[in-house]
Amino acid sequence: MFNHIFESNHKRKIVVELDERYFDKKSLMYAVVQHFTNEGKQCEMIDVNTLLLEGKKYYVYETNVAATYCPPVQRAVLTEI
């Protein structure tokens, strides 16, 4: 997994590209929390749509990116609330 960080209009957006596929939101959220915990960041799940990362709340949704010669890539997008 790896992540990209974007900032615009003082709101932060983090995109986490996942190595595995998750078919339910709860499993996806646990994977994202584990990813940030492994990076040494303080992260916890508030509910199935909200994370607390380093003291800031983020709304989480998933996207899938289709590729021509490989399976689709699943991403978790965190938008600062």
Residue type, 28: L
Q: How many domains are there within the chain?
A: 1
End-to-end Cα spacing for the chain = 23
Query: Percent of the chain beyond pLDDT 70?
Result: 88
Q: Answer with the residue of higher pLDDT: 43 or 3.
A: 43
pLDDT, residue 71, reads 76
Q: What SS3 string covers the chain?
A: CEEEEEEECCEEEEEEECCCCCCCHHHHHHHHHHHHHHCCCCEEEEECCEEEECCEEEEEEEEEECCCCCCCEEEEEEEEC
Instruction: For residue range 54-77, list pLDDT tens digits in order.
Output: 999 999 999 888 877 777 788 999
Instruction: For residue range 14-64, list pLDDT tens digits in order.
Output: 899 888 889 999 999 999 999 999 999 999 999 999 999 999 999 999 988
Cβ neighbour number for residue 36 with a 10 Å cutoff? 20
Residue ranges making up the domain that contains 37:
2-80
